[in-house]
Amino acid sequence: MTTDIGIDKTLEKPKKTPKQRILSVLKTALLYGVIFLVIYSVVNWWRQPVMPADPQLQLMDYQGQPVDLAELSRQQPTLIYFWGTWCSVCSVTSPTINRLAATNDHAVITIAVQSGSNQELRSYLDQHQFGFTTINDREGDIFADWQGQVTPSYVVLENGKMTQGLTGIQPLWSLKLRLWLASVF
């Protein structure tokens, strides 16, 4: 006995046109992009520094010069950049901070966390040709007060209050945009 098994052609998937394939790829990429942004935002929010209830805003830089973060932030939004000479990611972000500070359009203060003595810090800054104002947080006490979890971390201060906190690699345009938004809103 022989049976004739026929293949039902209606069950086959129709082939996608090139336009449909491109749209499918774009839709998938957009979906993954949105998922990435949501996860990145949540992780960044969780790891960002937190302003202490009674923060120490009158500090001394590694050269012994006074730095009044409250006064600077009353004049314009001020970026505080927590970093370390030992931090591999900071070696990528510090040149961006140096460019931002060099424009003199924005107040930029950096805090070097557990980066050695003032002389060691000076040598590091000179070697890398960094000209930004730096406070030496030898023991990490300032960073701990801000509940810092990772370096690099950033804080935007306006009128003595924290308006934004970020972590990780931040492009120059993003930092400029955040400082501009802080000045407008």
- pLDDT tens for 146-157 read 999 999 999 999
CB 49 within 8 A of CB 82: yes
- pLDDT tens for 127-146 read 999 999 999 999 999 999 99
Average pLDDT, integer, range 69-79: 96
Antiparallel, parallel or unpaired: β 153-158 and 133-137: unpaired
Angle at 101 between CA 49 and CA 82, to 5 degrees: 20
Tell me if 80 is assigned to some domain. Answer: yes
Tell me if 26 is assigned to some domain. Answer: no
Would you state the structure tokens that stand for residue 32, as one six-digit string? 């993954």
Looking at the predicted structure, is the pLDDT value of residue 11 above 80? no
CB 140 within 8 A of CB 61: no
CB 138 within 8 A of CB 117: yes
Confidence of residue 84 (pLDDT cuts 50, 70, 90): very high
Confidence of residue 60 (pLDDT cuts 50, 70, 90): very high
Tell me if 91 is assigned to some domain. Answer: yes
Confidence of residue 124 (pLDDT cuts 50, 70, 90): very high
Tell me if 82 is assigned to some domain. Answer: yes
Q: How many CB atoms lie within 10 A of CB 171?
A: 10
Tell me if 178 is assigned to some domain. Answer: yes
Boundaries of domain holding 176:
58-184
Going by C-alpha positions, the residue among 147, 75, 155 that lies closest to residue 110 is 155
Tell me if 158 is assigned to some domain. Answer: yes
Q: What is the pLDDT of residue 45?
A: 80
Number of compact structural domains in the chain: 1
pTM above 0.85, yes or no: no
The CATH number assigned to the domain holding 150 equals 3.40.30.10
Tell me if 41 is assigned to some domain. Answer: no
Tell me if 12 is assigned to some domain. Answer: no
Q: Of all residues in the chain, what percent carry a pLDDT higher than 90?
A: 77
Q: What is the pLDDT of residue 3?
A: 59
CB 76 within 8 A of CB 163: no
Q: What is the pLDDT of residue 31?
A: 93
End-to-end CA distance of the chain: 84
Average pLDDT, integer, range 49-66: 93
